[in-house]
Structure formats: structure tokens, C-alpha cells
Structure 1
Amino acid sequence: MQKTRIICTIGPATESYEMLRKMYDAGMDIVRLNMSHGTHESHTKVIKHIKTLNKKVEFPIPILLDTQGPEIRTGDLVQDLNLQEGTIVSIAARGPLDVEESSIHINYAEIMESVNVGDKITVDNGLINFEILEKRDRLMQCRVIDGGVLKSKRHVNLPGIRVNLPAITQKDEQDIAFGLAADVDFIALSFVREAEDIRRLRHLMGHKAGRVKIIAKIEDQEGVRNLEDIIQEADGIMVARGDLGAEINLEDLPNVQRRIVRLCAEYGKRVIVATHLLESMIHNPIPTRAEVTDVANAVYEEVDAVMLSGETTVGKYPIKCVEHLRKIAIKTEAIPGLQFAKNLQRTKDKQQLAIAAVQLAGGLQAKGIVVITRRGIMADFVSNCRPFFTNIYAFTNMSQSRRTMTLNRGVFPFRINFSSDPEKTLQTAFRILKEREHFQMGEKVVIISDVLAQHRVDSIQIRDIP
């Protein structure tokens, strides 16, 4: 299996049990439920399918719920608008729409106070762009910079402008409550602008905070400015390149992505690269060469996961998409990456222990690193070190910890019952490694744990598989 995890967004093309099984067999590790689309009823069906599937597969599939966030969209149109470059159009804020005066409607009431003459309005992920020429009352006169066909309810970005909308909308609160009741494993919070957004979500989560992991989506300039504070507060970061690429200069996007990956490595947080990985495969059976290189670069940067969106929701070739991602990951993982995590700057005592275990495993050419952990914290620390020559085999007695550890690069998690006798716990782990991972008698493993003692003493052992 590849070390880099593959996250697949589920939609009409993949929501059946049969397709989910095929996606898992192709290499899917985690499913994403996009709350911008579908209903609680349709998402419930997917969750039930995943829970059924998890009883039959070797490694469980965790569920990531992705909130819609404070979206700004254009309004309904009687018919599509064919906007020509250079054309002057009127854009109206929320309110009664005068079809004789206005050609485009935006559902953000405070847009008139937020923007100035000369600012840019970006629609449909940057495909259509306007420049504001004049503001009067609730109307703006705008020039079409980049034209195209505008459909109803297209997403709107206001690059460089702070949008006065709550980080967690009323819809988001309802969706989060739905996800927690359904025992999802991750919540990805859209348009995180500051660390306080994460703290508010954690408060909403109540007693499930800490068990359900929080992924902060970086999608605008304010999120980039507050990046370090956000990383420290969240469990992981998603580089949401769709909106982020519309909010910042496109030529800055690769450097921002690399900075996010590096800081996540330094702080020991999970990182996901998302959007447009294999976009051409929505319609075509093979990816472009540039897409292959883009995916390989993310793997080379040693991200924890890469994520598919439209490719697996409405695309024609969802299985092939997953197969291509897996092949690219396996080939790229065969050579040393940038190894940002080798220079962990924010180390704790347990992180130092993990570094020692990884170095020891490398020196011994150990078959694997075995982590005994309850909540997955020690597995996080070992994964942060990005061991190149060996995999990490984590054993926990908690099902949700097992699922959340799936996001960690290079971690293969198992659930076992822990014994009051530490040696019995280890013998159970050894038996599973021989039966499921084909370990051979006499092969060396490095064991790291904070639970193999009555008083939770951190320890490292070198053992031969019995």
C-alpha cells in the first residue's frame, strides 16, 4: 500500500456500495462528504455503506465531513449569460432584483461596503472576472475582464477583501451536529481565517472535541496571514487550492502550498493537498502529464494525503483516478522526498522519543516500527518523522483512534484488545503482523509505546518477531 493517503469525495458517480468497494480496492483510504452538495439523507446512505464496508476490509475507511462555509454566490438566472470580454454589466447586492437594471445578482448584502472601485470580483473559481468601475446605491458597474458563460448560483470570490460572514454558519452548525451524531472521524472547516474559528468549532463539538479531528481549510489571504496560529490550533490543514487560487495570485500558489506543508511538518500536524489533482479525468480516461507531476510533487513534499473532488463525484472515471493516484504515489515514494519533517523545530519529549525510534529502525534496517497507543498520539509523533525505509504499524484498543490514524502518512493501524500484561499485548501485535503483513520469524522491529507499562512509561524496545 502507498504511504500517502487518498481521499475521495463521494457523489452521484460513487455513492453506491458497489462503487465504494471498488474505490477501496483501487486504493481509496478516506471518504469525504461535501456538505455543499447532497442532503443529510443522501450522506446518511453513504455513511451506512462505509460502516458496512468497514466490517469487511483490512483497514477501516474514516469519514471526513467538509462544511460548506460562508459562501457567496450569484443568484438564479432565467437563462445563462454569455459574457463577452470588455462588456459593461451591472451587479446588484442582495435585495429585490430589478431585471431591467441589473444583469447579475450576488447574495452578499454587504458587498457594496466591502469593495471599492478598481477591485476585482471573481466568479466560478476564476473562470469569469470583473473589474468594478462604479458604485451607486446597491448597484455596481463592472467591466468583464475574462468572459464566459455564467450559470445560476456560481461561487464568488472577492480577492484580498475580508468578507464579513461568520466562520461557522447556521447550516454548518446543523451539518456538524449531523456529522457528530453519525460518528464521522474528521471535520474540515471551510474558510478558516484565524485560530479562533477552530476554537469555536471545538466548543461546538463538546465532549467529542479531541476524538473527532479538526482539519482547517486555508482558502483566502487572511487564512494565509494567520497560518502559523491556525496550524497550532488545528489537528491538520487542507490546502484548498480552488478558492485559494482565486483569492491569491496564481503564481504565488505553489510557494504558499510549500510553506503550508513545511509548517505542518515543523508543528507535527497533518496536511492534505486538494483540488484539481486529476481534473482532466472528469472527462478523460488518463491524466495530463502536468497533473501527474503535480501529484508527484505533493507526494515528494511528503504530504499526508491528496484529495479528489469532482473526479470522483461526477467524473466518468473515478476508479481509474484512484488507481492513477496510487501508482503515482508508490513510484514517487520510492525515492527520498524533501523530508521537511526531518527538521522538526517544535519538538516535545515524546517527539524526541519518536525521532530516536525512527533513527534506530533505520540503523537496524528494521522490518517495521510498531507503535502501541490508545489515542494515536505516539503514532502522530512517529509519522511526523517521515521514516523512509520502513512503515509504521500502530496498535490501539480504540476504534475511532484506529480510523483517525489512517490520515497519518505511512501509518497502518490495527485494533486489538490491550492486556494488563504488556507482553501479551505485544504477542497479539506480533501475531497480527505475521498473519496480515507477512512478517517472518526473526525479523527485527522497533517498538515504541506509552502504554506498555502500568504507570504509562514511555519506552523503546528492539525485538525479533517470535
Structure 2
Amino acid sequence: MRKTKIICTIGPATESYAMLERLAHAGMNVARLNMSHGDHQSHAKVIKAIKRLNKTLPHPVAILLDTQGPEIRTGERDNDLNLQTGDIISVVARGTQDVEEHSLMVNYADLIDDMDVGDKLTVDNGLINLEILEKHERVMRCRVIDGGVLKSKRHVNLPGIRVNLPSITDKDRNDILFGMDMDVDFIALSFVREASDITELNELLGDKAGRIKVVAKIENQEGVDNIDAIIDAADGIMVARGDLGCEVEFWELPHIQRRIVRACAQQGKRVIVATHLLESMIDNPMPTRAEVTDVANAVYEEADAIMLSGETTVGKYPIKCVEAMHNIATTIEKHRGLAFTNDLETRDHKQNLAASAVHLAESLKASAIVVITRRGRMANYITNCHPQHSVIHAFTNDGRTRRQLGLNRNVYAHKLLFSKDPEKTLRKAFDLLLSYGFSEGDQVVVISDTLGLYDADAGQGIEAIQVRKLEASK
């Protein structure tokens, strides 16, 4: 069974029910809705299709809504602008239209105030780069360092500059409220710069805070600088390498990725590696060897999930992309990863209990770690320990918890009606495992944070670990 989870961004190439079904059967664990594209009507149609599909799947697909964030973009253009290296052009930051034919508009009014002569602007994900030569009231004169063809509404990055934009824009707020109404499982907040951005989102979520999990997207240097506090505030982190690779020196990106993955392991939070993993497969049926190695490195690092973007939104081979990720991950997982288990930093009693359960399961080479959990907390604790041999099977009576555990590395979640008799609950869990291909007599380690191990007289959960052998109900 594959430990590393796969996230697929849904777009024109994959939004039909038939394609969503094929993605799920190929290995999609989480469907991402990119709010930078489409509208609420089109996204609602996808959400309803996934919920319908989940009724037929052995393991449901979770839904992640990804906000657009405070993006800076160039303006609309009637014609493409061909920029040659060495050209001098005008960048317009205030006003509604370009001042001259050989110029471009940027939709950020404070651009001129925030930047100095000598600073650089990166346009269209680093394809076009400009250096500021002069600043005027509403126009900057810039030299083209790296030329290219500029189309409408291209993304602009300001490396090293803290932009004066809100963490949650008006559009983001409307999109988040839409996600709440549609009962999504995760919200990914773009361009998180500090922990207070997560606090603001949780305040907006209100009584759904904690139930809808929050993933912080790290996309600039400020987010990297504040990573420990952000990890502490969020439920998970996305290493969004597209914008991040434009905001920092690209040769620093591999180290930053590994540092964030390790920090998440230390703090016991989920982590996603995203962007450009199989970019060439947008147009080609096979990945490059460098892309194969890139995916493999994320698996070696024991990231919880790896994500596809353009590959599954507009690409020609979305199913082959998921199959490629699945095959790479399952092959690499046969070998021991970087194993950050011993780096886990905690004084949490339940986390230490989970570590003991994992140590026992690994020493016994148990076939599975069985977790009985209502809200997924103990399953998270077990995930944090990165067991190398045993697969984690979590049993919950809550559908949302089951879906959200689809992001956890090495966790397979099942819905189960809990009994007041803990032994009956375990026997039903064992029957499910046997139906999935386990054999009677297989050794498993059992741990619970809810009804599975419960002292009715004391009225509280018993913190205990059991070693059991699977046997069918009689």
C-alpha cells in the first residue's frame, strides 16, 4: 500500500465525474480546488461530484480549497508584448491603463513605495525579470534582464519585499465562506507570512475552526523566516515551490524544502510538497528523469503528500501523471527514507504513548497499527512517528475525520460504528482488516483515544496499548 498521498488539482481536463472517478482509482487521495481559476458554480459542481463519487469508493477523496491570496499581476493586454533583454520599459503601478505601448501595468498601487532603484521584479514565474532604474510618481523605468513574451494577467513576484496587502483578501473571504457552506475538508491559505495569518483564518471559520483543517502555503522569504511559528499555528504546511522559487534564490529551494519537511516532522504537522513535480507531463506522456528524482526525493523525505497542479488541470495525460506518481512512490517506499522519527520534539503524554506503540509495532514487525479514534488525534500522533514497517489503519465513526486522514502519510482510514463494548468495536475493526486481505493470526498493535479502550466505571479513556492477533468474529 502506498504511504505517500497524492493531491490532484481539478480543472478543465478532470472536472467531469468520469475523470474524477478515473483519478480516484489511479491513486488520488485529495482533490484540490484552485480558487485562482473558475467560479463558485464550477467548483460546486466538482464538489458535488466528489461527494457522489465518495459513496462508491473504499477510501474517500478529501477536498482542499486553495485560496488565491494577495496576488500581484500584470494588467490586461490587447496584444502580447515581446520584451528583449536590455530593453528599457515603463512599469505602471497607479492608473488604469499602460502609459505607452512598450510598458506594462501592475495591479499593486504601493509597488513604487515598496521598491527601490536596483530592486528586481520577476514576472510570469521567473521567465521575465526586470531591474528598476528610476522611480517616479506612478511609473518606474526598468531594464529587461531576462526577456520573453508577456501576455495578460501574468503573476508578479517581488523577491525580498514585504507587500502591503492583506493576508485574506475580499475574494479569499468570499471563497472561504463558500468552502464552509460546501463543507470542504481543508483550506489552504496562500502567501502565509506569519502565524497571525492563520489566526485570522480561524477567526473567520468560527465554530468550524478545527473541524476544517488549515494548511499554510509557504511562498515567500517571510514565510520561511517565520516557519516554526506558522507550523505551530497551522494543521499543515504546503511547500509551494512555484512562487517560493521566484521569491528566494532558486538554488536555495531544495534546502528550504528539506528544512520545512523536517520542521513539520519535529512539530508533528502534515506537510505537502507542491508544484512542478511532473511539469513536463502536461504535454508529454512520460516524465523527465529529473522529475522522477524530484518526486522520489519528496518520498525519501517522508512528506505526507505530493501535489499535481497543471498536470491534472489542463494537461494531456492526467491519469498517467497520477499513475507515475503512484509507481515512483511505491517503489521508493520499499527503501528506508530520511526517517525524521527521532527528531520529534514533544512533551505531550499522548504523543509519547503513540511513540511507544510505534516502537512496539516496529520491533514486532506487526502487520498493522490499529487506531480507534473519533477526531483523528491519535492517528495524527501515530503518523508523527513515521513507522517504517507497519501500516496505520485508523477507525473512526466520523466521516470528516476519515476524509481528512486521507492526507496523513501511511494512514488508511475506515468508517466504523462504535459500540459501547470496546471488544465489539475491535472485532468489527478486525473483520474489516480481514476483508481487506489481512490474514487470521496476523499480529497488530492497537491504540485508542476514544471508545476502543474505555473504562465505563471510571468514565474515561484508558491510555493503553494492546498487542492482538487478528481473528474473525464468531
TM-score of the two chains, using structure 2 as the length reference: 0.97
Aligned to 1:408: 408
1:51-450 counterparts in 2 under 5 A? 51-100=51-100, 103-435=103-435, 437-450=436-449
CA distance in 1, matches of 2:401, 2:71: 32
CA distance in 2, matches of 1:47, 1:211: 18
Aligned to 1:10: 10
For residue 184 of structure 1, give the secondary structure of its aligned residue in structure 2.
coil
CA distance in 1, matches of 2:412, 2:93: 51
CA distance in 2, matches of 1:135, 1:322: 47
**Sequence identity (%):** 64
For residue 223 of structure 1, give the secondary structure of its aligned residue in structure 2.
helix
Matched, 1:461 2:466: yes
Contact 2:94/2:139, CA 8 A, preserved across alignment:
no
Contact 2:31/2:61, CA 8 A, preserved across alignment:
yes
CA distance in 2, matches of 1:100, 1:277: 39
Question: C-alpha offsets along residues 403-443 of structure 1, whole Å, 9 cap, x if unaligned?
Answer: 111100000000111111111110110111111x2111111
For residue 222 of structure 2, give the secondary structure of its aligned residue in structure 1.
helix
Q: CA deviation at 1:103?
A: 1.2
For residue 394 of structure 2, give the secondary structure of its aligned residue in structure 1.
strand
CA distance in 1, matches of 2:365, 2:87: 66
For residue 206 of structure 1, give the secondary structure of its aligned residue in structure 2.
helix
- 1:98 and 1:395, CA in 2 relative to 1: closer, same or farther beyond 3 A? closer
Contact 2:33/2:63, CA 8 A, preserved across alignment:
yes
TM-score of the two chains, using structure 1 as the length reference: 0.99
Question: C-alpha offsets along residues 214-256 of structure 1, whole Å, 9 cap, x if unaligned?
Answer: 0000000110111000000000000000000000000110110
CA distance in 2, matches of 1:394, 1:94: 54
CA distance in 2, matches of 1:101, 1:393: 61
Aligned to 2:24: 24
Question: C-alpha offsets along residues 242-296 of structure 1, whole Å, 9 cap, x if unaligned?
Answer: 0000000001101100110000000000000000000000000000000000000
Contact 2:393/2:411, CA 8 A, preserved across alignment:
yes
The one-letter amino acid paired with 2:42 is S
CA distance in 2, matches of 1:107, 1:341: 45
Q: CA deviation at 1:97?
A: 2.5
For residue 342 of structure 1, give the secondary structure of its aligned residue in structure 2.
helix
CA distance in 1, matches of 2:333, 2:365: 17
Q: Which moved more, 1:86-95 or 1:323-332?
A: 86-95
Question: C-alpha offsets along residues 92-126 of structure 1, whole Å, 9 cap, x if unaligned?
Answer: 01314254376100000000100000000000110
Q: CA deviation at 1:369?
A: 0.3
CA distance in 1, matches of 2:300, 2:427: 35
CA distance in 2, matches of 1:282, 1:347: 45
Contact 1:391/1:410, CA 8 A, preserved across alignment:
yes
Contact 1:342/1:386, CA 8 A, preserved across alignment:
no
For residue 461 of structure 2, give the secondary structure of its aligned residue in structure 1.
coil
Aligned to 1:46: 46
Question: C-alpha offsets along residues 135-154 of structure 1, whole Å, 9 cap, x if unaligned?
Answer: 11211110000000000000
Q: How many residues matched?
A: 465
CA distance in 1, matches of 2:45, 2:127: 34
Question: C-alpha offsets along residues 12-40 of structure 1, whole Å, 9 cap, x if unaligned?
Answer: 00000000111111111110000000010
For residue 370 of structure 2, give the secondary structure of its aligned residue in structure 1.
strand
- 1:324 and 1:99, CA in 2 relative to 1: closer, same or farther beyond 3 A? same
Contact 2:396/2:413, CA 8 A, preserved across alignment:
yes
- 1:274 and 1:384, CA in 2 relative to 1: closer, same or farther beyond 3 A? same
The one-letter amino acid paired with 1:92 is V
Q: CA deviation at 1:348?
A: 1.1
Contact 2:81/2:102, CA 8 A, preserved across alignment:
no
Is there any run of 5+ residues in structure 1 with no aligned partner, and where? none
CA distance in 1, matches of 2:202, 2:415: 26
Q: CA deviation at 1:207?
A: 0.7
The one-letter amino acid paired with 2:268 is G
CA distance in 1, matches of 2:179, 2:277: 26
- 1:98 and 1:391, CA in 2 relative to 1: closer, same or farther beyond 3 A? closer
CA distance in 1, matches of 2:410, 2:109: 47
Contact 1:91/1:102, CA 8 A, preserved across alignment:
no
CA distance in 2, matches of 1:450, 1:70: 40
For residue 413 of structure 1, give the secondary structure of its aligned residue in structure 2.
strand
Is there any run of 5+ residues in structure 2 with no aligned partner, and where? none
The one-letter amino acid paired with 1:75 is G
For residue 63 of structure 1, give the secondary structure of its aligned residue in structure 2.
strand
CA distance in 2, matches of 1:339, 1:63: 28
- 1:95 and 1:327, CA in 2 relative to 1: closer, same or farther beyond 3 A? same
For residue 395 of structure 1, give the secondary structure of its aligned residue in structure 2.
strand
The one-letter amino acid paired with 1:110 is D
For residue 337 of structure 1, give the secondary structure of its aligned residue in structure 2.
coil
CA distance in 2, matches of 1:362, 1:98: 64
Q: CA deviation at 1:346?
A: 2.5
Runs ≥4 in structure 1, deviation > 4 angstroms? none
For residue 406 of structure 1, give the secondary structure of its aligned residue in structure 2.
helix
CA distance in 2, matches of 1:41, 1:260: 35
Q: CA deviation at 1:341?
A: 2.6
The one-letter amino acid paired with 2:294 is D
CA distance in 2, matches of 1:284, 1:98: 37
Q: CA deviation at 1:340?
A: 1.2
The one-letter amino acid paired with 2:37 is H
The one-letter amino acid paired with 1:329 is A
Q: CA deviation at 1:373?
A: 0.5
The one-letter amino acid paired with 1:158 is L
Contact 2:127/2:148, CA 8 A, preserved across alignment:
yes
